Structure 1
Amino acid sequence: MSQPPSFDGLPEFLAAARRLSVSKAALDLNRTPGSISQALQRLEQRLGLPLFHRTTRRMSLTEAGQALLETVGPAAQAIASGLEDAAQSAQAPSGTLRLIVERLALPHVIEPVLPVFRQAWPNLNVEITVSNRHEHFVTEGYDAGILIGSYIAQDMIAVRLCQPYRWAVFGSPAYFRAHGKPQQTRDLIQHQCIRFRRPEKGDIYRWEFLENGSTVRVDPVGAITVNDGELMRSLAVKGAGLIYSSTFHTSRELAAGTLEPALLDCSPGSDGLFLYFSKTARHQPKLRAFIQVCNRVLEL
């Protein structure tokens, strides 16, 4: 199919504007410098104005050329991305999908999703690493990870895998009967808190609240420190102290009535589990297939 006349000269213009050199534009487009110059001249004649300042040593954009580049450049990039998306979507998922996931995602995401995913794509292999240490996600060759949203680097693309949840203090009914429920964050100093040491950083996690419109961070005081969330919740169920967790992490205990929330009105906001990946990985057919199954199974 022939190229629309209105597009004549635009590929040559964009290449020359990017490189500010006819000879380099010719190399990029696998053309002769003469054909590039002729295409630029025809475009300038059609528009009725010069697009480049030319000397024997250098080339630069005129004001009109700069304006055209700012208008046409993003559109050309959008067209190129659209063509790439179309080409990628035509490819069937293949190879091995490598995921690094935090333990919390196992019962809530991996266990319900993986059997359906394998049934849909039986020729696709899956490798799952369970870890809370995601700082070397890219260099270790993972296609995607599953992590709490607030821990994900800002340059990653994130897809929500659960409904938003809230952070709060949780304790057993027996603990609250014996010691009462904290009504304000300053009441926490009167309670035994089970502290959580983050495995990925080694520090004690500070409890964060929103009180009177301001963020309040509390260094919990208590005789017990753990680095495992499941153990922390189990100890709280047994009345060993209060914990700082979320309505998602404690969903099973809340449903069973073995834990109750406190200071829920001081929750710093909603969070959730997210599948995250780099921008360069977003077009992988195997990753797109996994996202589609997650959306279907988790009813997002």
Structure 2
Amino acid sequence: MSMNHAQSFDGLPEFLAVARRLSVTKAALDLDRSAGSVSQALQRLELRLGTPLFHRTTRKVSLTEAGQALLEKVGPAALAIAAGLEDAAQSAQAPSGTLRLIVERLALPHVIEPVLPTFRLAWPNINVEITVSNRHENFVSEGYDAGISIGSYIAQDMIAVRLCKPYQWAVFGSPAYFKAHGRPQVTGDLTRHECIRFRRPEKGDVYRWEFMENGSTVRIDPLGAVTVNDGELMRSLAVKGVGLIYSSTFHTSRELAAGTLEPVLLDCSPGSDGLFLYFSKAARNQPKLRAFIDLCHRLLAP
């Protein structure tokens, strides 16, 4: 069935909002509409397309196969259109709109807490929405303007801006642990130590410890009875002497300053990393994002 251009976009904003939230009620709140009008717009779209886009039960909304296929086709285009309209609206005026950030929890005290109060004073027209998460794989589809994460976790096609001085990956333990079990001098010594293993929440795999020895990369599957998927818990257990951990001088900065953890095998560190603000090439000219980056450079001086 052919449809004219004016009609072809009918129902798409409602479809995208429900697909993002998987809830008609939440989508209606996002659109500042009634749930009934959102449902009617969806029904008209489904009728026009001749196929259901959502499975609906009293407790749950989920995409059908046709709905998923439509989302994959029109989702990126809708984000590009929204970004284009916002760029056009902002180009002739001061930065405004909503800056949506997805931020690694670790970055809160180092970036968000020092920068955000000044940013709000400098740019009162910009709203800021911050999602705290270590899972950034849906960065584009969920409509974020920028993310803050560890450099080695950022996708290759993103533009990244350094937010802190370089830091090193190493092995860390408590003074009491080292007193009782000694310090590993080379990576081979780790097989004789109790290691706390880290299961990455975003991938589900146990993180392998990476080192540089004699000019080549060495990856070790740590041996230990305890496995966790939370970095804060991992560091806390290491402080209590439960075992050794693989971390960075940035992640453990508080413990290093307090003397509750000490590094070993620093000379085998696989290189320097850091905390970065990252964004897509399409977002780089947004005035609201440029304003945030400029302030980060001024206040954080990496």
TM-score computed with the length of structure 2 as normaliser:
0.69
| Separation in 2, partners of 1:257, 1:145 | 31
Match of 1:142 in 2: 144
Cα offset for 1:90? Answer: 5.2
Q: Secondary structure at the residue paired with 1:118?
A: helix
Residue 195 of structure 2, aligned match among 184, 193, 198? 193
Cα offset for 1:206? Answer: 0.3
Match of 2:107 in 1: 105
> In the alignment, residue 99 of structure 2 is paired with which amino acid?
L
Q: Secondary structure at the residue paired with 2:241?
A: coil
> In the alignment, residue 267 of structure 2 is paired with which amino acid?
D
- Measured against aligned partners, the alpha-carbon deviations of 1:80-105 in whole angstroms (never above 9, x if no partner) come to xxxxx9x9765311111000011110
TM-score computed with the length of structure 1 as normaliser:
0.70
Match of 1:61 in 2: none
| Separation in 1, partners of 2:118, 2:193 | 45
Match of 2:286 in 1: 284
| Separation in 2, partners of 1:201, 1:224 | 18
| Mapping for residues 64-103 of structure 1, pairs under 5 Å | 91-103=93-105
| Separation in 2, partners of 1:229, 1:118 | 30
Equivalent residue pairs, number: 215
Q: Does 1:219 align with 2:215?
A: no
Q: Is the contact between residue 88 and residue 283 of structure 1 (CA under 8 Å) also seen in structure 2?
A: no
Q: Is the contact between residue 102 and residue 131 of structure 1 (CA under 8 Å) also seen in structure 2?
A: yes
| Separation in 1, partners of 2:131, 2:90 | 26
| Separation in 2, partners of 1:251, 1:89 | 41
Residue 235 of structure 1, aligned match among 227, 234, 237? 237
Q: Percent identity?
A: 86
- Measured against aligned partners, the alpha-carbon deviations of 1:121-156 in whole angstroms (never above 9, x if no partner) come to 112111111111111100100000011111111110
- Measured against aligned partners, the alpha-carbon deviations of 1:14-68 in whole angstroms (never above 9, x if no partner) come to xxxxxxxxxxxxxxxxxxxxxxxxxxxxxxxxxxxxxxxxxxxxxxxxxxxxxxx
Q: Secondary structure at the residue paired with 1:92?
A: coil
| Separation in 1, partners of 2:225, 2:130 | 35
Residue 126 of structure 2, aligned match among 124, 127, 142? 124
Q: Does 1:269 align with 2:271?
A: yes
Q: Is the contact between residue 90 and residue 96 of structure 2 (CA under 8 Å) also seen in structure 1?
A: no
| Separation in 2, partners of 1:208, 1:126 | 37
Q: Secondary structure at the residue paired with 1:202?
A: coil
| Separation in 1, partners of 2:240, 2:95 | 47
| Separation in 1, partners of 2:166, 2:202 | 24
| Separation in 2, partners of 1:88, 1:180 | 60
Q: Is the contact between residue 197 and residue 225 of structure 1 (CA under 8 Å) also seen in structure 2?
A: yes
* RMSD of aligned residue pairs (Cα, Å): 1.4
| Separation in 2, partners of 1:298, 1:89 | 27
| Separation in 2, partners of 1:269, 1:89 | 40
| Separation in 1, partners of 2:221, 2:91 | 49
Match of 2:157 in 1: 155
| Separation in 2, partners of 1:267, 1:88 | 45
User: What residue ranges of structure 1 are gaps of 5+ in the alignment?
Assistant: 1-84
Residue 170 of structure 1, aligned match among 169, 172, 177? 172
Structure index of larger Rg: 1
Q: Is the contact between residue 196 and residue 244 of structure 2 (CA under 8 Å) also seen in structure 1?
A: yes
> In the alignment, residue 282 of structure 1 is paired with which amino acid?
R
| Separation in 2, partners of 1:265, 1:137 | 35
| Separation in 1, partners of 2:91, 2:261 | 46
Q: Secondary structure at the residue paired with 1:286?
A: helix
Q: Secondary structure at the residue paired with 2:203?
A: coil
User: What residue ranges of structure 2 are gaps of 5+ in the alignment?
Assistant: 1-86
